[in-house]
A and B are shown apart, each in its own frame.
Chain A
Amino acid sequence: MFRKQECVAMLLAGGQGSRLYALTRRIAKPAVPFGGKYRIIDFPLSNCVNSGIETVGVLTQYQPLELNDYIGSGQPWDLDRMDAGVHVLPPYQRNKGADWYKGTANAIYQNIDFIERYDPEYVLVLSGDHIYKMDYSDMLAQHKANEADCTIAVLDVPKEEASRFGILNTNPDGSIYEFDEKPAVPKSTLASMGIYIFTWDKLRKYLIADEEDTTSQNDFGKNLLPAMLNAGERMFAYRFEGYWKDVGTIDSLWEANMDLLNPKVPLDLADTGWKIYSRNPGMPPHYLADTAQVQNSSITEGCTIGGKVEGSVIFAGVTVEEGAEIVHSILMPGTVVRKGAKVQYAILAEDVEVGAGAVVGESPEEIDNLDRWGVAVVASGIKVGQEGFVPAKAMVEKDVADKEVIPYA
């Protein structure tokens, strides 16, 4: 009944993203806004479409409402297809009880039926928390050429950073002989990007075995991949070259946004040959007033800018009034910054209002003790009162009264 698909993508989008704190209070991590007009999930979804993958299952669990609405029919990514296309897959009740997704492998296990109806040769497993552009068809071609059972995309990271990642140790032919999770003394600099291609027959077998193992945490990295390696399956690394960033923390999310303003960073969103698609709010072009001063920044539709904006990423429908100053900050959709307010090194989530004369965030130069410095975050819908003060590294989830000074964290 369903047309056969050579490769089906499964996108793990159920994680809470707890290290993004206030930003994921009401939305799942993949739905977090990124880069002026995107959300994180736009990157893997657009990569799928651009790579010719027509069937994508999106596994949701934590705070799915906004993510479900955002994906909708999949039309913005051209994934509203006859029987392929994008499918949102939440956990569900069966005749023998109901389970939340216990782990990444279990989430796929619970959707074996979804995958089987397309009778695929291969399954691509993706996560919804990375910013990158990648041609999965090239990775699949290598997987086939190696006659591999599993291929894991890897990035060559600087040696000093290798101990922050899951490292793969490989033979000269690219085959993997060891997984090294956050090693103190790394043997290689090939970090796993959390992108896997499996030959479906093999994955199916290991998913079922993993489910039967009651001691397993049902996680790809911790359980399923080591089990495959121990059993001697053919596992290879696929070397990716280009920009890739895990945006799972406040700092990395802020940095990845700032990277977009740096012409030396190889992530080109203007490249029409590999577009990143997103659901568009359909607002008029933005307006820069007579008093605007905008430099080295990214601004999108629906904004009205009367103040100074420098080194910042401004999302749709933002208002920056005259005399306000925005420096090295991220302003998510609908946020308003009133006259004379200053926002620096900060992330303001959706529909935040910063009152006149308020100050949010501090620049590292202004702080004596750099341990106290960090990006300030204001959660969605929060009001910072007139002349209120939000220090560096603060995480504001309650309204700030007029002239209130939030203490250091």
Chain B
Amino acid sequence: MRNYNALGLIFANMHDEAIRDCTAVRSMGSLPFGGRYRLIDFVLSGMVNAGITKVGVITKSNYQSLMDHLGSGKAWDLSRKNEGLYFLPPRSSDDAMYQGRIGSLADVIPFLNHSKEELVILSDCHVVSSMDYQAMLKAHVESGADVTVACQHGVVPTLSDIPVMTLDAEKRVADLLIGRISEEEAYYGVGAYVMRKDWLLRTVTEAVARNQLHFERDVLQRRLGELRIYGYEVPSLMMPIYSVESYFKANLALLENEVREQLFPKSRPVYTKLKDCDPVQYGLHAQVTNSLVGDGAHVDGTVKNCIVFRGANISRHATLENCVIMQNVTVGDNCKLGNVIADKNVVFRNGCRLQGSDSYPVYIAKNSIV
């Protein structure tokens, strides 16, 4: 049973530029994570687990891998006769129509007009979490806010348009800056907003008429005094991805029991596209410790503190430590890799040696042969 009548809108390309290396061939939403997932899986599963049955995915570029991943939405139980998953690419190639979050929203006004839901959740994909959207919807309705901004308290990630906020005792936003200004801890937005659909439609139409296309700057900041904007502090773990380093660290954080328990609670499963891989085969020479391994991988080497994705192949006498090895990567004999992120289909020929540092991992682009 659903408690709130809400629809989801996911921005698949938001913050692509924060991690250019990995998003050269894909959107932020389709960035692989955690041995078998893509970042969008966490947002999409969160919405589905909150009883939301209508989700639009807004995307503007590099969306082939995203479309391939989402398909009909079946894996998220969103292939439905009524509602389900809607893929919302640009309606025209005219870039002017598609600037900023407001531009993207203006492009999907017909989709919003056709929707019967009262509330809208907007969400970016760059935060890995198992967020309870029901709780956020509840907080929004109870506070009577115009806009509720999901946030966390901590060191602000270095994202260009991140809202940094001061909250009053009632969690109403008293001050709002855009972008990190110091290393001090503060409330920062995690890219999820809740508002009434009719309010959103009116606001987007007005903002476009004034050529104000930046939602955070032109709506939240400019109209802070007149609007009731509330912060919703997400009580569970959130891991924002805003650089290669933060991507690397968030992956390796999965090796902590507590992080896995928070991210994969039994009551809120994370769904993803199924590949029907065979189980992981460990060979006679395998020595694998403190690692997370996805199905279809074949491991016969020494692996320590690594995230190994589906279908990776790690041969005998290879040694890996602190690595993120994506789908279908092959690591040959006598390779020695440390602090390496290997994107999809990378091949390490026999005898490769690569060593990155903890804070600056070596990134090997998709399809490379080393």
What is the interface of chain A, defined by CB distance below 8 A to chain B? Answer: 35-37, 75-76, 261, 269-270, 275-278, 280, 282-301, 313-314
Across the interface, A282 reaches (CB within 8 A) one of B35, B272, B277, B287, namely B272
Query: For residue B310, which residue of chain A has the nearest CB?
Result: A285
Query: For residue B281, which residue of chain A has the nearest CB?
Result: A298
- Interchain Cβ contacts under 8 Å between A and B, 8 examples: A277-B276, A283-B264, A285-B293, A285-B308, A286-B292, A288-B288, A295-B285, A301-B36
Q: Which residues of B contact A37 (CB under 8 A)?
A: 278-279, 295
Q: Which residues of A contact B307 (CB under 8 A)?
A: 285
In whole angstroms, how far apart are the Cα atoms of A280 and B296 in the complex? 13
- Please name 6 further chain A to chain B contacts, defined as beta carbons within 8 Å, in addition to the given A269-B278, A286-B293, A299-B282, sorted by A numbering: A75-B74, A270-B298, A284-B34, A285-B307, A296-B286, A301-B295
- Minimum CB–CB distance from B29 to chain A (whole Å) comes to 19
Closest 9 CB pairs of A and B: A285-B35, A36-B279, A269-B278, A300-B279, A285-B294, A298-B279, A284-B264, A290-B290, A294-B282
Interface membership of B169, Cβ < 8 A? no
Query: For residue A263, which residue of chain B has the nearest CB?
Result: B283
Q: Give the tally of cross-chain contacts (CB within 8 A).
A: 101
Q: Which residues of B contact A276 (CB under 8 A)?
A: 276, 278
Across the interface, A284 reaches (CB within 8 A) one of B36, B276, B298, namely B36
Indicate if the CB atoms of A285 and B282 lie closer than 8 Å: no
- Minimum CB–CB distance from B298 to chain A (whole Å) comes to 7
Indicate if the CB atoms of A288 and B279 lie closer than 8 Å: no
In whole angstroms, how far apart are the Cα atoms of A314 and B310 in the complex? 17
- Minimum CB–CB distance from A337 to chain B (whole Å) comes to 17
Q: Which residues of A contact B260 (CB under 8 A)?
A: 284, 287
In whole angstroms, how far apart are the Cα atoms of A157 and B74 in the complex? 44
Indicate if the CB atoms of A300 and B269 lie closer than 8 Å: no
Indicate if the CB atoms of A282 and B281 lie closer than 8 Å: no
Known: A270-B281, A284-B264, A299-B279. A292 touches B286 (CB 8 A): no
Known: A288-B288, A295-B286, A298-B282. A282 touches B269 (CB 8 A): yes
Q: Which residues of B contact A261 (CB under 8 A)?
A: 281
Query: For residue A271, which residue of chain B has the nearest CB?
Result: B278
Interface membership of B271, Cβ < 8 A? yes
Indicate if the CB atoms of B289 and A295 lie closer than 8 Å: no
Across the interface, A285 reaches (CB within 8 A) one of B36, B74, B271, B298, namely B36
Query: For residue A292, which residue of chain B has the nearest CB?
Result: B289
What is the interface of chain B, defined by CB distance below 8 A to chain A? Answer: 34-36, 74, 255, 260, 263-264, 269-272, 274, 276-296, 298, 307-308, 310
Indicate if the CB atoms of A284 and B35 lie closer than 8 Å: yes
Q: Which residues of A contact B293 (CB under 8 A)?
A: 285-286, 288, 299
Indicate if the CB atoms of B34 and A285 lie closer than 8 Å: yes
User: Which of B278, B289, B296 gathers most chain A CB within 10 Å?
Assistant: B278
Indicate if the CB atoms of B279 and A289 lie closer than 8 Å: no
In whole angstroms, how far apart are the Cα atoms of A75 and B274 in the complex? 12
Q: Which residues of A contact B287 (CB under 8 A)?
A: 293
In whole angstroms, how far apart are the Cα atoms of A291 and B271 in the complex? 29
Q: Which residues of A contact B289 (CB under 8 A)?
A: 288-292
- Minimum CB–CB distance from B354 to chain A (whole Å) comes to 23
Indicate if the CB atoms of A285 and B276 lie closer than 8 Å: no
Known: A287-B292, A294-B286. A299 touches B280 (CB 8 A): yes
In whole angstroms, how far apart are the Cα atoms of A143 and B272 in the complex? 42
In whole angstroms, how far apart are the Cα atoms of A297 and B282 in the complex? 5
- Minimum CB–CB distance from B275 to chain A (whole Å) comes to 9
- Minimum CB–CB distance from B4 to chain A (whole Å) comes to 25
User: Which of A76, A289, A294 gathers most chain B CB within 10 Å?
Assistant: A294
In whole angstroms, how far apart are the Cα atoms of A280 and B275 in the complex? 9
Query: For residue A275, which residue of chain B has the nearest CB?
Result: B276
Indicate if the CB atoms of A292 and B298 lie closer than 8 Å: no
In whole angstroms, how far apart are the Cα atoms of A301 and B287 in the complex? 19
Q: Which residues of A contact B281 (CB under 8 A)?
A: 261, 270, 297-298
Q: Which residues of A contact B284 (CB under 8 A)?
A: 295-296
Query: For residue A314, which residue of chain B has the nearest CB?
Result: B279
Known: A275-B276, A285-B34. A296 touches B292 (CB 8 A): no
Query: For residue B37, which residue of chain A has the nearest CB?
Result: A284
In whole angstroms, how far apart are the Cα atoms of A91 and B279 in the complex? 36
Query: For residue A313, which residue of chain B has the nearest CB?
Result: B279
Q: Which residues of B contact A284 (CB under 8 A)?
A: 34-36, 260, 263-264, 270, 292
In whole angstroms, how far apart are the Cα atoms of A276 and B281 in the complex? 16
In whole angstroms, how far apart are the Cα atoms of A188 and B248 in the complex? 62
- Minimum CB–CB distance from A65 to chain B (whole Å) comes to 22
Q: Which residues of A contact B74 (CB under 8 A)?
A: 75
User: Which of A280, A285, A299 gathers most chain B CB within 10 Å?
Assistant: A285
Query: For residue B305, which residue of chain A has the nearest CB?
Result: A290
- Minimum CB–CB distance from A310 to chain B (whole Å) comes to 9
- Minimum CB–CB distance from A372 to chain B (whole Å) comes to 30
In whole angstroms, how far apart are the Cα atoms of A284 and B292 in the complex? 9
In whole angstroms, how far apart are the Cα atoms of A262 and B279 in the complex? 14
Q: Which residues of A contact B269 (CB under 8 A)?
A: 282-283
Indicate if the CB atoms of B280 and A286 lie closer than 8 Å: yes
Indicate if the CB atoms of B298 and A282 lie closer than 8 Å: no
Query: For residue A285, which residue of chain B has the nearest CB?
Result: B35
In whole angstroms, how far apart are the Cα atoms of A37 and B277 in the complex? 9
Indicate if the CB atoms of B276 and A278 lie closer than 8 Å: yes
- Minimum CB–CB distance from A114 to chain B (whole Å) comes to 26
Q: Which residues of B contact A75 (CB under 8 A)?
A: 74
- Minimum CB–CB distance from B268 to chain A (whole Å) comes to 12
Q: Which residues of A contact B285 (CB under 8 A)?
A: 295
Q: Which residues of A contact B308 (CB under 8 A)?
A: 285
Indicate if the CB atoms of B278 and A36 lie closer than 8 Å: yes
Indicate if the CB atoms of A282 and B271 lie closer than 8 Å: yes
